[in-house]
Chains A and B, each alone.
Chain A
Amino acid sequence: TQLLEQSPQFLSIQEGENLTVYCNSSSVFSSLQWYRQEPGEGPVLLVTVVTGGEVKKLKRLTFQFGDARKDSSLHITAAQPGDTGLYLCAGHNFGNEKLTFGTGTRLTIIP
């Protein structure tokens, strides 16, 4: 079974600060996705990264896929209370319909 470890597990910071969340595995993935889950809801897709070294930006969020396609990071600039939620990375392998989810990072932004 492929595993994805996320760090930190919990993160609580002040509004306006920057932060980075990590997603690491010993296995290679064809692509990696990031989801955000708000309380009482299911996860919602934020981005998919496919190419090793790829960087994608979504407003204040920057996602990077590691060169070896084993890890990824999510960087948030000038965090806002609306960024609060559970962030989940998920790895996908070509030809396999299943996603392997990470352990999650619970982010709280304090106004």
Chain B
Amino acid sequence: EAGVVQSPRYKIIEKKQPVAFWCNPISGHNTLYWYRQNLGQGPELLIRYENEEAVDDSQLPKDRFSAERLKGVDSTLKIQPAELGDSAVYLCASSLHGSLNTEAFFGQGTRLTVV
């Protein structure tokens, strides 16, 4: 069974440029999470989807970040414009039923460097 797939693995952009990350969750998983992880820190939840609905985006900086999960499967996370402080690893995770606290499976992450 394929795991959570993220792309790209690495991205280097100049500040003020846009960037997008893509996530393909495990088939059949209703819940999809986007996390941001800074060096030496724990994953910080940005947004959680239940199927195609964003049920919690309270931690998403909405002035520059946006996300979508069309058809309740793949998801994209976009930053526009990027700032130096956005440099981090962006992790996508999926879970069969997050509302029932089933385990989360993480992708390899996208390491973003903003210069």
> Does B bind A?
no
Chain B contact residues, CB within 8 Å of chain A = none
Chain A contact residues, CB within 8 Å of chain B = none
